[in-house]
């Protein structure tokens, strides 16, 4: 059945994306690719929320800096629906290392910092966006950032064309 391929994934537009005023451009890129927003909100991350989201990293040396970066401003949390949404959104987002991201990806268009530069300048690496890596991760992250009432099911105007 065609619905077996339709997934919902989690995307976070990080504080640097919000501060730079590129949220609309990023959302337009996602929507222009045929994906549907089934949930969206602006959130100021708390320690508790970040500890849930980054559970596997809490005890790692870089976690404190990561948490501080994610609390520097609001985050736009998105639930994105579409065919093979997890895999395809990761392709659209681009390589985690912005300097290695293809110019047509979100990170390739909007991020420029390298991990080496961040390390040498004593700042946290900023790459503007997070997208779940697996369907299991997406389900977990959606549950952390959204309640069931905040996710919406509706028919997109062009679903017959892209889904």
pLDDT for 140 equals 97
What structural domains does the chain harbor? Answer: 2-162 (3.30.70.141)
pLDDT for 1 equals 43
Calculate what percentage of the chain has a pLDDT beyond 70: 90
* Mean local confidence (pLDDT), 42-58: 96
Mean pLDDT of the chain: 90
pLDDT for 61 equals 87
Confidence of residue 157 (pLDDT cuts 50, 70, 90): confident
Res. 47: pLDDT tops 50: yes
Active-site residue (options: 102, 130, 152, 156): 130
Q: Which ranges constitute the DSSP H helices of 33-123? A: 47-53, 63-70, 85-93, 106-110, 115-121
Sheet of 36-43, strand order: 36-43, 75-83, 6-13, 129-131
What is the value of pTM for the model shown? 0.90
Is 156 catalytic? The answer is no
Contacts of 87 (CB under 8 A, 6+ apart): none
Res. 119: pLDDT tops 80: no
Range in 2-11, 48-57, 143-152 with the lowest mean pLDDT = 2-11
Is the backbone of residue 131 left (phi > 0), alpha (psi -120 to 50) or beta? Answer: beta
Question: What would the pLDDT profile of 19-37 be if each residue is shown by its tens digit?
Answer: 999 999 999 999 999 999 9
The string over 115-147, giving b where at least 16 C-beta atoms fall within 10 Å of a residue's C-beta and e elsewhere, is: eeebeeeeebbbbbbbbbeeeeebbbbbebbbe
pLDDT for 118 equals 64
- Comparing C-alpha atoms, which of 11, 23, 3, 16 is closest to residue 111? 16
State how far the Cα of 83 lies from the Cα of 52, in Å rounded to an integer.
Answer: 27
């Amino acid at each position: 059945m065609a619905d077996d391929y339709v997934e919902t994934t989690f995307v976070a537009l990080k504080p640097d994306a919000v501060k730079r005023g590129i949220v609309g451009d990023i959302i337009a890129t996602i929507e222009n690719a045929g994906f549907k927003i089934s949930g969206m909100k602006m959130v100021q991350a708390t320690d508790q929320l970040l500890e849930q989201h980054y559970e596997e990293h809490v005890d790692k040396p870089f976690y404190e800096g990561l948490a501080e970066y994610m609390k520097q401003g609001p985050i736009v949390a998105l639930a994105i629906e579409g065919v093979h949404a997890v895999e395809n959104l990761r392709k659209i987002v681009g390589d985690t290392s912005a300097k290695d991201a293809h110019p047509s990806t979100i990170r390739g268009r909007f991020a420029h910092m390298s991990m080496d530069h961040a390390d040498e300048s004593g700042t946290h690496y900023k790459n503007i966006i997070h997208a779940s890596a697996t369907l299991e991760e997406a389900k977990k992250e959606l549950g952390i950032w959204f309640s069931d009432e905040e996710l919406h099911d509706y028919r997109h105007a062009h679903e017959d064309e892209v889904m």
